[in-house]
Amino acid sequence: MSAEAGMSGNPYGIEALWNTSDVVGKSVFVILGIMSLWSWWVMLNKVLDQRALRKVANEAEKNFWKASSLQEGAAKLSGKVNAYRDIVNDGLQALEHHGKSQVTSKVSVNDWVESHVSRRTEIVQSSLQGGMVVLASVGATAPFVGLFGTVWGIYNALIAISIAGQASLDKVAGPIGEALIMTAIGLAVAVPAVLGFNFLLRGNKLLLERVNHFSHDVQSTLVAGSRVQGK
C-alpha cells in the first residue's frame, strides 16, 4: 500500500497543483519562476562585481601609494577594467586640461579636478547600484504574486466544490492546501531576494567608502601635491 502511494506521488503537491491549474495559475507559477531566476542571476553577478572591485581596491591601497608619482601608480594598477585607475587618469587629465585651457582659468584647480574625479566616482556608484532595483522589486512583489495565485486557486476550488455539491473537510482541505502552496512559493522567492539585497547593499556601501577615500586622496595629491594621511 505504501509502495503504491509512493508511486502515485503526493496528490496535493506542487505537481498536482500544476496539473490542475488553469492558465492563470500556471502563469503565476511561470512569473514566480522567472522572478526567482532573475533575482539569483542578479545576486550572483553583483557578488562577482563586488569581489572584482574589492580586489582592485586591495591592490590600489597596497601598491598605488608606494609609487613615486601618480602616473607610475596608475601604471601599477592592473586589469582591463579598473575603476581606481580611471579615477587617477581622470584627475590627471583634468589637471592637464586646466593648465592648457583659458576657459577653465576662471575655475579653481581644486573645483575642476574635484568635478572630474567625482564624476568617475559617481559612475562607480551607479555601477554598484545596478540590478539592486530588481532585488528590491522581487522582494516586495513576489509575496503578492503568490498571494494572488492563492486567492485564484481558492476561488476555483470553491467553485469546483460548489458544483460537486460536497463541502466535507476532505473535499475542501486538498484544494485549499494546494492553493496555499502559491503563497509559500512567493515567500520562497522573496526572502532570498530581500536577504541578498541587504547583503549587497552593505557591501556596496563599504566599497563606495573605499572608493571615495581613494578619490579624495588622489584629488588632494593633484591639487596640494601630497596625500592627506589619516590617523
| Residue 79 domain-assigned (yes or no) | yes
Residue 39 has pLDDT above 90, yes or no: yes
Amino acid 4: pLDDT:
44
**In-domain check, residue 26:** no
pLDDT for the residue numbered 231: 45
Res 5 pLDDT > 50: no
Question: Which contacts of 90-95 are long-range, i.e. CB under 8 A and separated by 24 or more positions?
Answer: 90/116, 90/117, 90/119, 90/120, 91/116, 91/117, 91/215, 91/218, 91/219, 91/222, 92/222, 94/222, 95/222
> Which residues, at least 6 apart from 190, have a Cβ–Cβ distance to it below 8 Å?
138, 139, 140, 141, 142, 143
Among the residues of 64-168, which ranges form H helices?
70-76, 83-100, 109-129, 132-164
Q: What is the pLDDT of residues 136-158, one digit of tens each?
A: 999 999 999 999 988 887 887 77
Tens digits of per-residue pLDDT, 173-223?
Answer: 666 777 788 889 999 999 999 999 999 999 999 999 999 988 888 888 887
Average pLDDT over the chain, rounded to whole? 81
User: Is residue 196 a part of any domain in this protein?
Assistant: yes
For residue 106, the model assigns a pLDDT of 62
Identify which has the larger pLDDT, 177 or 129.
129
Residue 115 lies in a domain: yes
Task: Supply the range of the domain harboring residue 205.
Answer: 39-224
Contacts of 217 (CB under 8 A, 6+ apart): 65, 227, 228
- pLDDT, mean of residues 67-86: 83
Q: Which residue has the higher pLDDT, 13 or 108?
A: 108
Lowest model confidence (mean pLDDT) among 16-30, 113-127, 135-149: 16-30
Residue 105 counted as domain residue: yes
- pTM given for the model: 0.78
> What confidence score (pLDDT) does residue 95 get?
78
Q: For the chain, how many structural domains are there in total?
A: 1
